Amino acid sequence: MIKIEHIALWTKDLERSRDFYIKYFGAKSNDKYFNPKKGLETYFLEFDAGARLEIMKRPEVQEAEHQTFLIGFTHLAFSLGSKAKVDELTARLVKDGYKKMDGPRTTGDGYYESQMLDPDGNPIELTV
């Protein structure tokens, strides 16, 4: 059996990013890893269903302008379990100042979702 072990992303503010995923998605964090030789700092965030997200910071990583249609990973999707929870978390994120890109809505392929940006501008989907 093959499973995705974890997904990783760079962030410019490690603690802000960690706090975002803990506050809004209930992630649990390990202790910070620091490699002084490379200047690499990381946290592994684990979600209730077992999925893990590694957030990383390193001095030489450059901030990129996010564009919608580029080859590569395009978003991270979180299944919240119900339309009401999608609506509720979308409204909470908007109220707290995060940018909503779309939705909530039912897509042509039947997903009920909204599209938001995390603190670093990474696209996330909230879905049932």
With residue 89 as reference, give the H or E element that holds it.
Answer: helix 83-95
Euclidean distance between CA atoms 124 and 45, whole angstroms: 16
Per-residue pLDDT of the chain (128 residues; tens, 9 = 90+): 878 889 999 999 999 999 999 999 999 999 999 999 999 999 999 999 889 999 999 988 877 666 666 667 788 999 999 999 999 999 999 999 999 999 999 999 999 999 999 999 899 999 99
Whether this model's pTM surpasses 0.85: yes
Domains in the chain (CATH in brackets) are: 1-59 (3.10.180.10), 74-128 (3.10.180.10)
Euclidean distance between CA atoms 42 and 76, whole angstroms: 18
Euclidean distance between CA atoms 24 and 116, whole angstroms: 12
